[in-house]
Amino acid sequence: MSNITLREGIAVLLWLAAAVLVVGKLVISLRHVFLAARDDSALASDINAPRRYALTAMLAASLAVAGFLVWVPELVRLLPCGLGMILLIGLSSYVNWRIRQHYSDKRSAR
């Protein structure tokens, strides 16, 4: 097995793991939306949901960036951009969940 084939295989496995994490979190997010639409407040009051969602999104982004680095090792010089992207993805996921919780609480208070 050549070195290039091994790197491509590892990169594909990392991307597959990242895709599974992203799709899994999207399904969970849709479940939260549908339960919130039915006024199920148990999920809306889960204080750790935004943190868990953001950490999982950051892990998925990290796996995707690691896949690119394994596939094309010359991209190591762009690693600070990748780290910034990972942090921005995590921050945007966290803020999205906090906003969603805020409006869910506001709606349930009516």
Residue type, 3: N
- The percent of residues above 70 in pLDDT, for the chain, comes to 84
pLDDT > 70? residue 44: no
pLDDT > 70? residue 89: yes
Mean pLDDT for 17-26 is: 89
Averaged pLDDT score across all residues of the chain: 83
Mean pLDDT for 54-59 is: 88
pLDDT > 70? residue 67: yes
Instruction: Name which residue leads in pLDDT, 81 or 100.
Output: 81
* Owning domain of residue 22: 3-109
Provide the number of structural domains found in the chain. 1
pLDDT > 80? residue 21: yes
- 87 pLDDT tier (thresholds 50, 70, 90): very high
| Model confidence pTM above 0.85 | no
Cα separation, 80 vs 100, in Å, equals: 30
- Residue 19 has a pLDDT of 92
